[in-house]
Structure 1
Amino acid sequence: MALMLLEAKWKTALSSILEELTDSQFRKMLLNLVKIPQGVKDGKAREDIPYLLVQYYGTEDSISVIDKEMKNIPRNDAAVQEPLRPFVEKVKKQRQGKKGMTRKLSIDFGSVAKKLKPSADQLKSCQPDQMDPVKAKKTKKKTEKQDSSLKHQASASASINMDCVGAVETEKKTEEQDLSLEPVESIKTFKVPSAAVQTGRIQIMGIKKSNKTNTHLVVEFNKRKRNVFVTTRLLANAFGLKVEDDFERRLRYQMPLTAEAKLQGKKVTDIKKMDPVGDVKPDQKTEEQDSSLKLPAPSKTIKVQSAAVQTGRIQILGIKKSNKTNTHLVVEFNGRTRNVFVTTRLLANAFGLEVDDDFERKLRYQMPLTAKANLQGKKITEIKKVKKTSL
């Protein structure tokens, strides 16, 4: 909950910071945001950049990146630094807190090892008293009373010597035995249980970074966005791809993707591709056929109320499938991800494209797109491109 609140406040502050930049400063900053693909950045308005930064960098890293870029431009004036500084300080404190916790654990581990080693004073106190052999001969000439008192003292000293000898013997343990005891004690003290395994459906929204070993993703799981990672080989096998130099581009082309996955902490341990829910079937039906569908009844007609019309701004995140009649989209509307469809002709007219074999590729190149639309259920009945401010 705290992370989501920080993310919302950061997006608002970032919007005001970007408005203070000149056109040349804004272009310079965009050029240095290397994690965001060039095709995604091209033509984006300033109000779209906060969403993209958090999506590709995450909340904490995006704050650090903007702080660095403002110093490079440079923009150290109050108009930029006053809204930026509180977030930079908060991230700094969080990271220092994590380092402090790690240092405390290492100190506690060392103190446990020291407690097992005996002190020098303990060894000296247990050394047995040495008896002078000359004095031992003189004791034979003493009276019987003196002999009896000496016997009493001897018995007492013998008991003391026995205790000391026993103590000395316990201290003669080898260094190997002492060392073998230390890790056993530390394991009992610092044993941490592993994270619980969660299973469910995830939607892959973006890629933060990828190499031939691991891929770091932004996913939606249980209606919350999370940053996770998975071995690149496992991810490639799930979606029928090969681990090669072109892997990341091919995976981005298919996004957003839906999969069944097992998560242990931030690691995806198992993943399997699945068909997304919410497709409108069949796609071959024309708009006239969809409107003519009615429920048959033997004696009286059942009237089905049409869904209410909703109007607002949508952001087109991905294309599920497209033909020359209908196009099925993944959009964000009122802060929620939805599966909708629209006639391909209406969509093409809104973004100045033609309905041809190359239509889907041209539309994907421009994404994510922002538009004003009327939605009735899962159908977009009207759509108009939102004009963006020029750089």
Structure 2
Amino acid sequence: MKPNKEEKKWKKALTCIIEELSKNLFEKMLHLLDDIPKSKKKNKLRDEMPQIIIQHLGIKKSILKMKNILEAIPRRDSVVQDLLRPFVDKQSKSTEKNKGPKRPCVESDTEDEEPEAAAKKRKYVSESETESEEDREEKKHQSDKENGGPSCKPCRRQTVQDLNATGCPPGKAIMGKVIQKSGLRPYETKKKEKHFLFFVGFADDTGATRLTVYGRPLFDKIQEGHFYKFTDLLIDGEYKKVTCNTDISKLGHNTPLIISADLEMKAKGLINIQWPVFSIAAAKNSQEKTEMTIEGTITDMNNVENKKVKGARTRKTTTKLRKLTLQDASGSIRVCFWGDQVGRCSTLVVGDIIRVTNVRSTEFMGTMSLNSTGMTSVYPVKDASVQTGQINIIGIVNASKKETTLEAEHNQQTQKFVVESKLLAKACGFRLEGDIEDKLLAKMPFRAEVTMRGNIIEAITKM
């Protein structure tokens, strides 16, 4: 039987709710779904559970069950409650209709209230908060409202110019416009737990700054082009952080702040430095530590390597490094991607034309190169074309069961090519076990008909 419209809506909302749960809370939810057999919950992916829950409990019962579970684990914040509330309210109204006429009541709508009033009723929180913290905050705000305490007083505003100069004392707020957001970025805590953050280019009528926002739920809540008020930012050196302890209020578009085009441009530049685009010749002649954007064709890519670098207190630590060479009409330059930025190269191949933002120039022994920063992004301009032809395979750079890097002659040049080892083994007629390198060396040199995209071999036939 096909799901009806109501079931489709509830399944979609339930999927979003489950996606917002941390791994620990997801496991708690499974444990509390005691009406569903363990065999139906074991080793299930998140996107499989909504259908299983609805099948076993039905729509009405599953809504009530999820309401109780989210209270218990707890997730009482607006991120998940806003997804759940329409279904709970609809079910409550349906129940009241069955009981008979209800007494008149007045419902409040925070959307019609003044921004500051709405902010007192609502606070965005991250999933890292505990039950006791949420209860304490709720009781504090309720008490303040009833007694005319601090929550009823207008928050003292601080300008962005003041924020950049002196920081943000407790209790003060900044008001302004979110000009641009970065992408959502993963990071690890000291306990090796994976969390998420993103950056915001923020401006008012006095200046522009960059905010670091922690928590995946806030990524969808904080939108470009809207005005917000942030109270109790955490100042950590040059970083201005929006955390679970920061009060966030969305303001109306009639906020009396006029932000100049220059300040908007400056705020964008704090997130993505994409102007001007340097030619490679200009990049090589730039001053050291100049941040820039470059564009060019990938002519060479090294494999990922582990590099020892100086860490805190001069201790050496190991980090990942991948180098590629970019070329345009003015020349070529080496670009180094470090640490987590290595992942931005995972889908690139030789021949791709890309734009790389927020890289920093570094000179070493008279040679200028570019290094990634925490804000580096890679944007494809044009993919390498797919072509077929013959190559003469003459050597091996490295070989594993997953992939092999070969040296081969193509168009009278020696180039490096990458191929899945299982394709290579099938073409050469050996099993993918034992010492793959020795087996390949025994076959070399040999010619092959290949289909390739850049330096990636997608199909190969030994001739």
TM-score normalised by length of structure 2: 0.21
Q: Which of the pair is proportionally richer in helix? A: 1
Give the structure with higher Rg (CA): 1
TM-score normalised by length of structure 1: 0.24
Q: Which of the pair is proportionally richer in strand? A: 2
